[in-house]
Amino acid sequence: MAKCSYVPLFETKQVKGRVLFRCIAASIFLGICFIVMYRVMFFPVGGKAERWIWIGQFLSELWFCFYWFLTTVSRWNSVYRLPYIQRLSQRFEKELPGIDIFVCTADPLIEPPSMVVNTVLSVMAYDYPPEKLSIYLSDDGGSDLTFYAMLEAANFSKTWLPFCKKFRVEPTSPEAYFRTASEPLNDADNWLSVKILIDGRDSNAVDIEGNPLPTLVYLAREKRPQHHHHFKAGSMNAL
């Protein structure tokens, strides 16, 4: 027989501290039993008013005991479930339905095209089979700015979507990602983008008169929010 390829979509784990919770619940239950015994054994036999007050208090206590019992039973075997979202597509990828996502905008002044573009790129980067995902933008304002912004977004998506999938980017909105990304890279050198514009060691690096040119290097540092880049001192260190 072939091996079963079934993988669970979630894992059930027990909540820690259940033994302590049960001990506390047992002590509370014991206290409730003592209260009930006290109410029954020392029921007043005197005036009518005292008996009705006693009965009212007893009924109130019984009601709160019943409420405590319901809440305790619901937490007696507390568990939490850890979902494996990535396994959903592995099991049902061929059965997943097509999804249409509608994004609406009306006024490019109130809703800037940059915000609309970030929304569209965010939903385009959903972890869903791209052939089953369709995004529609409804522009009630008929804005040329929004239209040309969408053209740029369509071109940028060719780079942004593979980047999101490769590095599992969250959130998938470019603006939100670059605003909140704060994790430093493993090595400071990885922050750098270096381009040698003129290599003085190259014999072809000469001016129009045949004189050698000095080396010219372009270096850019990535500055991430919440990660100190040390301003000009950091630039000198990188150089």
Q: Which residues are annotated as a binding site for UDP-alpha-D-glucose?
A: 111, 140
How far is the C-alpha of 239 from the C-alpha of 237, rounded, in Å? 5
First to last CA, the chain: 63
- Alpha-carbon distances of 72 from 29, 60, 65, 83, 186, rounded to whole Å: 10, 18, 10, 26, 48
Bind-site residues: 111, 140
How far is the C-alpha of 238 from the C-alpha of 221, rounded, in Å? 8
Q: What share of the chain is helix, strand, coil (3-state, %, to 5)?
A: 50, 15, 35
Contact 69, 102 (CB under 8 A): no
How far is the C-alpha of 61 from the C-alpha of 73, rounded, in Å? 18
